[in-house]
Amino acid sequence: MPFSLLEGALGGIGLFLLGMRLLSDGIRTVADDRVRNVFRQVTSNRYLSLLFGTLMTLAVSSGSAAVIFTIGLLNGGILSVYQAICVLSGVLLGASLSLHLQVIPFSLISGPLILCGVLLKFFSRKRRRAHLGTLLLGIGLLLLGLSLLQGTYRPIGNHPLYDFGNGMFYSSTFMATLFGSIVSFLVQSEQSTISIIASLENIRPIDQHLSFAMTSGGVMGMAVMGGLASVGGKFTARRVAILLMLVTLLTSIPFLIFAQAGSALSNTIASLMAATDRISVLSWGFTISGSITALLLFAIGGPASRLLLILETAAGGKSGAMQSCAGYLDRRIISTPPIAIEQARKEIIRMAGIVSYMYADVRGIVTDFDARKVETVRQHEQVLDSLNTEINSFLAALSNSAISPEINYEIPGLIQVVSTLEHIGDVCEDILECIMSRKESGIIFSEEAMNDLVAMAKSVNYILADAEGVLKTGESGDRTELHQSKNDIRNQFEKIKQSHYERICSGSCHPRATMLFQELSSSFIRIAELCWNIIGTQLRRPD
């Protein structure tokens, strides 16, 4: 491959990955209650989600870009799994329609988006505008990367890809489908994919049923791009991307087997539309494949989302831990307070699980620094902030409609538990910042100090597990045992403080190390106290 083509391909992939990362970060930071409410309205049911995906694809004129945006919204917690599946169905439908509608190429809007993003991100004094700049910059770089990739594979007559293996891609419907997938994945534009296939028909003899197989494979190329966009994202985003690839793979099999019939059908439809040129015929072939795939994905959206929820439970809540939006709350059930309060409890239990995952990562970073865990901890903190707002808003609305004294009595306690869990997340982030500061400053704790920190973190882990168990089972345990446990752990903390004081007096502890150790130990103690508050709230519940 000529160096210029390789350079363009590598640069496009790099810009794409950078834009995807900035896009996900921007969505998480910009998405406040107002933004979430807007998306909640436009995706309030499966049909509106389908329409939203279709219009989004027509707006950016690229099914691959729309798939990437949808995965980014799922990563940012804006969309639920069910909403994302329905939106992706609309994306496939919109990609099919965009071949027959005149739209603005995404390459024309990448430059203005990058300029606006840079101005807002680096010259705005307000944090929210700076976060918006990050989002716009991410979208612009992503579209620029796609444009660069598209331009790299436009040389039709002499590109090495088209002659790979002495024309092996044109020997069977399977290889033709694979070729269409590769081209669609690389050029990131349905129009460009169709143009490439039509141009290949002009320079080499290719049967029409092989051309139809290539266009069918183009749908699969869009799904593969979604899989690439989900790399490094949330558990749920990766599973949804895998589902999209599986559905496109399954629907491509009948088109591969009945390619002759599909080619005849696309010719017939093009004739009825008075468009007999090859690009129009191939466009209708893509439309047939994309529309059928979209309808299949739309039909299985409900069962598929429930299956992913089952997989989430089997994975120990890993996927739920990274899902920013509430999974159990629905304003429509507020009219039935007993069901609503039970759903709120389930969401609080899920929130407690997120706190446990977050603390486990922080505890691991204390002894073994891992940059991947640092990013995960920060994502968990954003999830907790989002859930704190959603659950408290739901409980406030429930308190205004509930007439049962028992429910009205329980709601303040649940609100307190939610706020406490969110506060634990804040303290975990404080511990992370201390660890990062220690690493950047090159401060090394003594072996005795590290042993004290590890022991303290282990004790707090037991307390956090007790608090989570109380929320899950609803059983508060014996008050005497609780007080005895609190006294034992507090005595342990006092011994650790005394050892630290002795190290300071001996002069063996650096002043900066002294301050960091005190901040870390105080944070661990604070988490223990917050966990005891949760257990105490459970003790005060009416029987």
Confidence of residue 318 (pLDDT cuts 50, 70, 90): very low
Confidence of residue 319 (pLDDT cuts 50, 70, 90): very low
Please determine, for residue 376, whether its predicted confidence score (pLDDT) is greater than 60: yes
What pLDDT is attached to residue 539? 61
Q: Return the domain boundaries, the chain.
A: 31-106+153-313, 326-539
Tens of pLDDT, residue by residue over 41-72, are 788 788 888 998 888 888 777 787 788 888 87
Tens of pLDDT, residue by residue over 282-291, are 888 888 888 8
The span from the CA of 329 to the CA of 335, in Å, is 13
The span from the CA of 474 to the CA of 373, in Å, is 31
The span from the CA of 12 to the CA of 535, in Å, is 53
What pLDDT is attached to residue 163? 58
The span from the CA of 7 to the CA of 18, in Å, is 16
Tens of pLDDT, residue by residue over 220-238, are 888 887 887 777 667 777 8
Confidence of residue 508 (pLDDT cuts 50, 70, 90): low
What pLDDT is attached to residue 402? 60
Confidence of residue 105 (pLDDT cuts 50, 70, 90): low
- Return the closest-CA partner of residue 95 out of 300, 289, 302, 304: 289
What pLDDT is attached to residue 20? 67
What pLDDT is attached to residue 35? 67
Confidence of residue 13 (pLDDT cuts 50, 70, 90): low
Instruction: Choose the weakest-confidence range: 218-232, 241-255, 320-334.
Output: 320-334
What pLDDT is attached to residue 1? 46
Please determine, for residue 447, whether its predicted confidence score (pLDDT) is greater than 50: yes
Q: Do 377 and 362 meet the contact criterion of CB atoms below 8 Å apart? A: yes
The first and second tokens of residue 207, run together, are: 């049967």
Please determine, for residue 316, whether its predicted confidence score (pLDDT) is greater than 70: no
What pLDDT is attached to residue 464? 87
Tens of pLDDT, residue by residue over 155-174, are 445 555 555 544 566 677 88
What pLDDT is attached to residue 321? 46
The full DSSP string for 49-111 is HHHHHHHHHHHHT-HHHHHHHHHHHHHTTSS-HHHHHHHHHHHHHHHHHHTSS----THHHHH
Give me the mean pLDDT over the 181-196 stretch: 75
Q: Name the superfamily (CATH) of residues 326-539.
A: Phosphate transport system protein phou homolog 2; domain 2 (1.20.58.220)
Q: Please state the pTM of the whole predicted model.
A: 0.64
Beta-carbon contacts of 175 under 8 Å, excluding residues fewer than 6 positions away, are 168, 169
